[in-house]
Amino acid sequence: MRCPYCGFTESKVVDSRPADEGESIRRRRECLSCAKRFTTYENVESLPLVVIKRDGSRETFDRQKILNGMLRACEKRPISLADLDKCVDEIEMTIQNSLEREISTEKIGELAMDHLKNLDEVAYVRFASVYRQFKDINSFMSELNKILSDK
């Protein structure tokens, strides 16, 4: 770390402690040349996720959009916000752990449907009907039949 006073590149760490509720580390350093002290902060580097939409456009990942879609599917269902938040956390973690920096909305939708299927079948069908854009009652019924055959 370069000293802000003399520009020397060598310093020693005098003190380290968590900062920003554990999101970063505050380090107190002492320059080995001029002996002046200065503070640095160390943060985890996070690469932005890019979502590829159906029309080919790209936008940054927004977990709130997933949560909003799942909330709409779960309206008037006995599902807590904490359960949905946990599902969105798991979806986001799965995406982050995939090491891909770009992901399609199709993959995100499939992950959301997998979680909703385990959480509440009615919410799953609601979400699937919007996500898969059922054109008629036959496509809707085939999805319901898949659920019934899985039991």
What mean pLDDT value characterizes the chain?
89
> Does the pLDDT at position 35 exceed 70?
yes
pLDDT digit string, tens, across residues 46-70: 778 899 998 999 999 999 999 999 9
Q: Enter the tokens of residue 43.
A: 């943060």
> Does the pLDDT at position 44 exceed 80?
yes
Q: What is the pLDDT of residue 151?
A: 65
Q: What is the pLDDT of residue 144?
A: 76
Please tell me whether residue 21 adopts helix, strand or coil conformation.
Answer: coil
Q: What is the pLDDT of residue 63?
A: 92
> Does the pLDDT at position 33 exceed 80?
yes
DSSP states of 110-141: HHHHHHHHHH-HHHHHHHHHHHTT--SHHHHH
Q: Which of 95, 93, 94, 91 is nearest to 49 (CA)?
A: 95
CB of 119 within 8 A of CB of 87? Answer: yes
pLDDT band at 100 (very low <50, low <70, confident <90, very high): confident
